């Protein structure tokens, strides 16, 4: 499943291509992805100019001059490519947007777990996919005080708490493991131990917020380099020596909430 950095990479690409362009034609090459397209999907998009492309957690939102918003999710295998008017399509190219600039934006999704739908702007915050999302980790507002309010009463392990989209929007399995490693925090540690009895953040929570932001920013930058796998420090490195200088521990894999967690039991406490 693409995480926040991969979705942000797609957002920036679409922002450059689609903003201020008019959608001249929309082709849906099947009736559904994960869900059926709205019956008026293409007519509501065609002849509309894209005002902006935003991201909320792992969702993309293309704002249209009509006030409609195209809500998109990549699912497990979805992605966009940009071509010209002579593009050739394969069987997994399910949605095609032909733009006034001559560019063609193609959504490819072999496993069809992605989806697209149209919302009115007033309905965005109440939509079931977006209504209960937590703060954006890269926003200026996100800090230790906000995270302390979310974690103060949580007795669950820290890894599971941080993976909850109601706590932090868009932070997924890979980057939680990476952030906890940078912050030297055990994924098994009880979440509430990072908050004082009065509800204020302990110093370790400040370290964790910095680590979350740093991990995500590095991952976004890496999307523009090789588009290959990020150079993870602990994720998917079970059995390897801990990369922290002077540690000497070995990266361990455990299962939490049905997902793999990778960490160093020596330097993460």
Q: Which residues span the domain enclosing 157?
A: 144-263
Is 30 domain-assigned? Answer: yes
Tell me, yes or no, whether 102 and 173 share the same domain. no
Q: What is the pTM of this model?
A: 0.93
Is 182 domain-assigned? Answer: yes
Considering only the C-alpha atoms of the chain, give the largest distance between any 2 of them, rounded to a whole number of Å.
63
How many residues does the structure list for the chain?
Answer: 269
Tell me, yes or no, whether 148 and 243 share the same domain. yes
Tell me, yes or no, whether 169 and 58 share the same domain. no
Q: What is the mean pLDDT of each run of 10 residues along the chain (269 residues)?
A: 91 97 97 96 98 98 98 96 90 98 97 96 93 96 97 97 97 96 98 97 98 96 66 94 97 97 97
Tell me, yes or no, whether 158 and 108 share the same domain. no
Give the C-alpha distances (Å, rounded to integers) separating 156 from 37, 116, 196.
38, 33, 16
Unique residue bearing structure tokens 């309905």: 123
* Count of domains observed in the chain: 2
Tell me, yes or no, whether 105 and 189 share the same domain. no
Predicted local confidence at residue 222, as pLDDT: 87
Among 77, 92, 123, identify where a domain stops.
Answer: 123
Tell me, yes or no, whether 22 and 103 share the same domain. yes
Tell me, yes or no, whether 93 and 152 share the same domain. no
Q: Which residues contact 122 (CB under 8 A, 6 or more apart)?
A: none
Is 91 domain-assigned? Answer: yes
Q: How far apart are CA 220 and CA 5, in angstroms?
A: 5
Give the C-alpha distances (Å, rounded to integers) separating 79 from 52, 163, 269.
19, 23, 38
What are the structure tokens assigned to 5, written together?
């950095």
Would you name the residues annotated as active-site residues? 2-3, 58, 259
Q: How far apart are CA 105 and CA 98, in angstroms?
A: 7
């Amino acid at each position: 499943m693409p995480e926040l950095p991969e979705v942000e990479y797609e957002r920036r690409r679409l922002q450059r291509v689609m903003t201020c362009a008019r959608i001249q034609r929309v082709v849906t090459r099947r009736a559904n992805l994960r869900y059926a397209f709205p019956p008026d999907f293409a007519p509501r998009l065609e002849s509309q100019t894209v005002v902006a492309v935003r991201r909320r957690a792992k969702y993309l939102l293309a704002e249209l001059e009509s006030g409609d918003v195209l809500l998109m999710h990549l699912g497990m295998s979805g992605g966009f490519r940009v071509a010209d008017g002579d593009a050739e399509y394969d069987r997994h190219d399910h949605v095609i947007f032909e733009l006034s600039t001559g560019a063609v934006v193609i959504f490819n999704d072999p496993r069809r777990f992605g989806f697209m739908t149209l919302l009115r702007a007033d309905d965005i915050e109440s939509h079931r996919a977006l209504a209960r999302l937590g703060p954006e980790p890269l926003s200026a507002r996100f800090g230790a005080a906000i995270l302390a309010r979310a974690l103060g009463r949580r007795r669950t392990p820290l890894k599971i708490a941080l993976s909850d989209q109601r706590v932090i929007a868009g932070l997924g399995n890979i980057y939680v493991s990476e952030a906890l490693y940078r912050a030297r925090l055990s994924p098994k540690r009880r979440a509430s131990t990072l908050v004082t009895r009065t509800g204020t953040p302990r110093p370790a929570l400040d370290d964790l917020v910095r680590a979350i932001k740093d991990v995500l920013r590095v991952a976004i930058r890496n999307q523009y380099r090789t588009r290959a796998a990020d150079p993870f420090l602990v994720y998917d490195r079970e059995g390897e020596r801990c990369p922290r200088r002077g540690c000497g521990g070995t990266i361990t894999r455990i299962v939490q909430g049905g997902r793999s967690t990778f960490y160093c039991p020596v330097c993460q406490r």
